[in-house]
């Protein structure tokens, strides 16, 4: 409860209200008291001057204060204040309340010495006492203002509670939705999305959450697919090996050199698949260590092409290198890039019929060297082109199996090139040719 957003919001509202009311109340009472006091002093002054003449005239006409009491009583009633008049010796000669007459009187309240016109010694002193029972106008005003502020404050707090309940419901709705969605995500349900369309921070948060959930969903799907793919890829060679071994056990086939060589071939395929998977998982986790060195790409191309030349010749395929002009030195891990080129050449050799041609070309493009492997082979249907770099993707599923490829060659090539900061691509015309290319950075 104490930690809830609603409670904190309410607390903040109440705090703001109290601070505002406190400040206004302080300011108002301070300024108003001063203003009202000044005004009252002016009024008192005015009363003094008006009554002063009247009282002095009474004294001058009679030569004594005798009979002044009714006048002072009238004044008291008129002003609503106690009025005390003392003689020049300080003895009370009239008191609007009558009690002090004949006594000595001295007071701290503003006193007005009564000096006859034309000057001379004062004939007495007039005191207009503050009314104790009746607070001053300033105090009254202060009280009224404070009451008004307290009532305003109570009203503001009631409004704050209502607004908080309403606002927190609006604010908390997406938060609650996000909490539910996060809980579901934590339980492995990646399909859940927050249905909340709002502009501003909450909307942004909901959107970010949804895209995070989408990524997780996608990764989860990829992971599941990958596990399924791997299981599928491993099943064929394993069941082949098992089938052959069972057949030998049952005496259905002879354990001769041909059988063993077939089993050996399958085990090689399994080994290659496992190596490729390991390489791919390293590359995908960004854990591939590259030993980049200044490399003469021309030499690397020649060396790699030479390595497959014998196979090409056996298959009746013409293999040529086409380098346009001087090529700059490259900043690459020559073994890895050699592996990429080897992969592309292997594929080209597999998919090019006898009598075909394979050309390895390289050109300097900006800060990269682009290496292409062009074949006059079977080509790739346009619909398959965007997928050939995906793991285990094969254009012709049945035939590719027979060629013994793991279906990971292009995926690994792509990851290796990307680890160097380069790009891979493919262009193809079905039944005519294919061009696989990649770029590698030059030494800068």
**Which chain residues interact with ligand ADP by CB under 6 A?**
347-348, 351, 375, 377-378, 380, 388, 393-396, 400, 405-411, 434
Opening angle at CA 279, ends 274 and 285, nearest 5: 125
Q: Specify the DSSP element, H or E, that contains 118.
A: none
C-alpha to C-alpha distances, 217 to 209, 224, 355, nearest whole angstrom: 12, 10, 47
Closer of 206 and 280 to ligand ADP (Cβ): 280
Q: Whose structure tokens read 């030494």?
A: 443
Comparison of 237 and 377: residue with beta carbon closer to ligand ADP: 377
Nearer to ligand ADP, 247 or 400 (CB): 400
Q: Which residues contact 156 (CB under 8 A, 6 or more apart)?
A: 17, 21
The pair of structure tokens assigned to 5 is 């957003």
- Minimum Å gap between C-beta 169 and ligand ADP is 55
Give the shortest CB-255-to-ligand ADP separation in angstroms.
30
3-state secondary structure of 435: strand
The least CB distance from residue 182 to ligand ADP, in Å, is 38
Tokens representing 237 are 């060679």
Q: For residues 40 and 346, which CB has a smaller minimum distance to ligand ADP in the complex?
A: 346
> Which residue number, 209 or 436, has a Cβ lying nearer to ligand ADP?
436
440 - beta bridge partners?
369
Decide if 405 contacts 269 (C-beta within 8 A).
Answer: no
The minimum distance between CB 425 and ligand ADP, in angstroms, equals 12
In angstroms, give the least distance from the CB of 417 to ligand ADP.
13
- Choose between 266 and 378: whose C-beta lies nearer to ligand ADP: 378
Using alpha carbons, select from 234, 305, 303 the residue that is nearest to residue 272: 234
Quick one: 257 or 402, whose CB is closer to ligand ADP?
402
Q: Which residues contact 2 (CB under 8 A, 6 or more apart)?
A: none
Minimum distance from residue 419 beta carbon to ligand ADP (Å): 17
- Exposure letters 157-172 (e unless 16+ CB within 10 A, then b): beebeeebeebbeeeb
Residue 370 falls in which region: left (phi positive, over 0), alpha (psi -120 to 50) or beta: beta
Residue 361 CB, nearest distance to ligand ADP (Å)?
14
Q: Which residue's C-beta sits nearest to ligand ADP?
A: 405
């Amino acid at each position: 409860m104490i930690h809830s957003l609603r409670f904190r919001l309410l607390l903040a509202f109440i705090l703001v209200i109290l601070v505002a009311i406190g400040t206004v109340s302080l300011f108002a009472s301070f300024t108003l008291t001063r203003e009202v006091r000044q005004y009252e002093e002016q009024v008192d002054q005015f009363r003094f001057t008006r009554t002063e003449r009247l009282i002095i005239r009474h004294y001058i006409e009679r030569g004594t204060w005798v009979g002044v009491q009714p006048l002072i009583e009238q004044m008291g009633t008129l002003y609503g204040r106690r009025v005390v008049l003392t003689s020049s010796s300080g003895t009370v000669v009239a008191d609007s309340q009558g009690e002090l007459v004949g006594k000595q009187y001295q007071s701290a309240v503003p006193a007005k010495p009564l000096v006859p016109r034309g000057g001379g010694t004062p004939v007495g002193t007039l005191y207009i006492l503050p009314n104790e029972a009746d607070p001053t106008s300033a105090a009254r005003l202060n009280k009224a203002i404070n009451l008004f502020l307290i009532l305003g404050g109570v009203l503001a707090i009631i409004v704050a509670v209502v607004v908080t309940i309403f606002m927190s419901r609006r604010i908390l709705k997406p938060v609650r939705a996000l909490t539910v969605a996060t809980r579901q995500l934590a339980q492995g349900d990646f399909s859940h999305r927050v249905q909340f369309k709002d502009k501003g921070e909450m909307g942004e948060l909901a959107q970010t959450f949804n895209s995070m959930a989408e990524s997780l969903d996608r990764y989860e799907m990829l992971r599941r697919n990958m596990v399924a793919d791997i299981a599928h890829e491993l099943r064929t060679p394993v069941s082949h090996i098992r089938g052959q071994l069972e057949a030998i056990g049952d005496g259905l086939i002879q354990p001769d050199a041909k059988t063993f060589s077939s089993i050996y071939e399958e085990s090689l395929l399994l080994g290659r698949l496992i190596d490729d998977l390991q390489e791919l998982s390293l590359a995908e986790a960004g854990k591939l260590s590259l030993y980049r060195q200044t490399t003469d790409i021309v030499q690397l191309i020649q060396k790699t092409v030479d390595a497959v030349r014998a196979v090409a010749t056996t298959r009746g395929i013409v293999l040529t290198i086409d380098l346009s002009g001087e090529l700059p030195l490259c900043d690459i891990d020559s073994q890895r890039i050699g592996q990429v080129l080897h992969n592309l050449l292997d594929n080209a050799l597999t998919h090019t019929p006898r009598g075909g041609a394979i050309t390895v070309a390289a050109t300097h493009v900006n800060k990269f060297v682009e290496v292409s492997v062009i074949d006059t082979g079977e080509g790739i249907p346009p619909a398959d082109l965007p997928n050939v770099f995906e793991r285990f993707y094969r254009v012709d599923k049945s035939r590719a199996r027979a060629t013994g490829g793991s279906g990971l060659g292009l995926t690994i090539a792509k990851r290796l090139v990307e680890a160097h900061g380069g790009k891979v691509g493919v262009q193809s015309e079905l039944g005519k040719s294919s061009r696989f290319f990649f770029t590698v950075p030059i030494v800068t």
